[in-house]
Amino acid sequence: MNKATNKSKVVVIGAGKVGATVAYTIMMNKLASEIVLLDVDRNKARGEALDISHGIAYFKQLTIRDGDYADCADADVIVLTAGIPRKPGQTRLDLARTNVAVTREIVSNVMKHADNPLFLVISNPVDVLTYVVQKESGLPASRVIGSGTTLDTGRFRYFLSQHCKVDVRDVHAYIIGEHGDNSVPVWSRASIASKPFDEYCEDCPRRCLKIYREHIFEQTRNAGTELIKFKGATFYGVALAVTRIIGAFMGDENSVFTVSSVLDGNYGISDVALSLPCILNRNGIDRYLDIRISDEERLQLQESANKLKAAIRDVYLPVVS
């Protein structure tokens, strides 16, 4: 945020369903005084911006408009949503080859205008593309952040709250690793209102079996696929999750989110982007919150990293070699 003028600016690249919903949610949460939508179809960006603008008379004075890459020069946050959306039956990694090419071109155009931008990557496969953005831009890993398992974590907490019949705000649990099939539920650190989940289960009269945990995680892992089957896309949930991340940036909050970034030795993992709990503020990732996880969860995290590295080798490294 420009403290001298008290103005704040977010650029959203991609004016599809996710990008437009993100812009709308940023506006509703009053996180920026200026929101700029960029899209290869400029008329689409203009139409979405106008649609939102026509309602600000009943909300709050701000500017929302279409723009071009020159607008990235003074942006507080650049949100990358552009890419081909996932289709029914398609995995996130199936998207990779096409979206890597799109992302490389976008980063090249942004870096022609922006000196030290803060990227927030949403496009899928988000971990692969977060890696690509960091390598192509040359920015510090702390300045290139993927939404990662932030939405997965929100889904996990929601399904736990439904099962346990408690307010979702009193559920504390994380999904780490890949945003996708190889995500890792951190059961060992889950809690209900500070009571460890294992203890909560012991005291619960329902005496749930282990199979219930497996079901809850399956619901979490398959939630995106289910939504795509039902309505063709998922955008409300991710827009709400991403807007909270942007709020942590703009408000200098030092809030904790499970976001994706290129790691350098965390849990023995390097040179791959995946999600861990991170403390976020106006500079991006301030530091990692290295929570103690079980040996089994550590092995699962390493497996998640290995599979992502293989995907990166397949879709990105041959292109730049």
Element at 31 (helix H, strand E):
none
Within 10 angstroms of residue 108's Cβ, the number of other Cβ atoms is: 12
SS3 91: coil
- To the query of whether residue 179 is one of the catalytic residues in this protein, the response is yes
Q: Do the beta carbons of residue 183 and residue 301 sit within 8 Å?
A: no
SS3 173: coil
| DSSP notation for 212-223 | HHHHHHHHHHHH
Q: How far apart are CA 268 and CA 104, in angstroms?
A: 28
Q: Select which of 54, 113, 179, 215 is catalytic.
A: 179
SS3 268: coil
Q: How far apart are CA 159 and CA 205, in angstroms?
A: 19
- Which residues form the catalytic set? 179
